[in-house]
Amino acid sequence: MALKKIGMVKFLNDSTVDPMDSEHTLYTEDCLGLKAMEDTGQLVYLALKGDHPQLSEEWFYAHIIPFLE
């Protein structure tokens, strides 16, 4: 909860994480406080086409770097 914002990235063609939505278990069990973070607008969902973890440098700078500023 000390974080200002957290981004969760989902790769729409993921062949590494099986089942693809299994990481959302952390959310449903709220063991990290993700539900509370979403309720306050601190949780951001990002999705992109591609396999895990294939993303371009351009996408990284456009979508991830802003979380670090």
Residues 36-69 pLDDT 10s = 888 998 888 888 887 877 888 998 899 888 878 7
Residue 11 has a pLDDT of: 82
Within-domain flag for 48: yes
1 lies in a domain?
Answer: no
What is the C-alpha radius of gyration for the chain, rounded to an integer number of angstroms? 13
Within-domain flag for 29 = yes
Q: Which long-range contacts (CB under 8 A, 24 or more apart) does 33-38 make?
A: 33/1, 34/6, 36/1, 37/1, 37/3, 37/6
Determine, yes or no, domain membership for 55: yes
1 Cβ contact list (under 8 Å, min separation 6): 33, 36, 37
- Please confirm whether the linkage preceding 53 is cis (ω < 30° from 0): yes
* Residue numbers of the domain that contains 11: 6-67
In-domain check, residue 28: yes
Average pLDDT, stretch 31-40?
A: 84
- Indicate the number of domains in the chain: 1
